[in-house]
Amino acid sequence: MSTNAREDILAAAKLVAQAHGYAGLNFRDLAQQVGIKAASVYYHFPGKAELATAVAKRYWEDSAAYLESLLQSSSGPLEALRRYPETFRWALENDNRICLCSFMSAQFDDLPDLVKTEVQAFADVNIAWLKKVLIAAKVASPKEAEKRARAIYSGIVGAQLMARSRADIALYDSLIESYRAAGLLPA
C-alpha cells in the first residue's frame, strides 16, 4: 500500500460520490479501485459515515481554495463571477458527474449528521463567496447580495442536474447563457 493510500481513497471516493452519491460509497469497490484490501480502507476510515464526512469536507475546502484562486487570477470580481459556472461544468466534463455535495444533498435524509454538516458547508462556502464577489463587482448591494448569491448558486446547481439527467453539457451551457440573458449572472 502506498503511503498516500488515504489520499488515493479520498480521490476515488470523490469520483464515486459524484457519480453515485453517498449510497454509492462501497469499501470493497473503493479498495479494488485503489488497489488495496478493503481492510486498508477501514484502517483509514472506520465506517462509511467517516469516509463520506472526510470526502465532503475535503470537497468544500478544495472548492473554497479554488474560488479564492479564481478571484485572484481574474482581472476583477466581474470576470470571476462570469467564470464561476465553469467550476460546476468540470464535473459534467468528467464522465457526466455532478457536484458531490449536490448529489449528497439529494440524499440528505439518508446522510449521517456529520456528513450533512459538511454538505451544507459546501453551499455556505459558495454562497458566501458569491455574496462577497457580487458586492465587490457592484452587481448587488450588500442588502441584496445574499438573496442573489443563493439564486445564482441554486440556478447553477439546477442547470448541472438537468444537464446530467440528459448527458448533455450543451444544455448546461444553454441554461447558463439564459441566466446571463435574464440578468441573474453578469453577461
pLDDT of residue 167: 96
145's enclosing H/E stretch is helix 142-165
pLDDT of residue 160: 96
Amino acid identity at 83: R
pLDDT of residue 187: 87
The Cα 39–Cα 32 span in angstroms is 11
C-alpha cell at 143: 442588502
- What pTM was computed for the model? 0.91
Fold of 56-182: Tetracycline Repressor; domain 2 (1.10.357)
The Cα 61–Cα 125 span in angstroms is 9
pLDDT of residue 60: 95
> Do residues 185 and 152 lie in contact, with contact meaning Cβ atoms separated by under 8 Å?
yes
> Do residues 25 and 13 lie in contact, with contact meaning Cβ atoms separated by under 8 Å?
yes
Q: Domain boundaries in the chain?
A: 56-182
pLDDT tens, position by position, for the chain (187 residues)?
Answer: 456 899 999 999 999 999 999 999 999 999 999 999 999 999 999 999 999 999 999 999 999 999 999 999 999 999 999 999 999 999 999 999 998 888 899 999 999 999 999 999 999 999 999 999 999 999 999 999 999 999 999 999 999 999 999 999 999 999 999 999 999 999 8
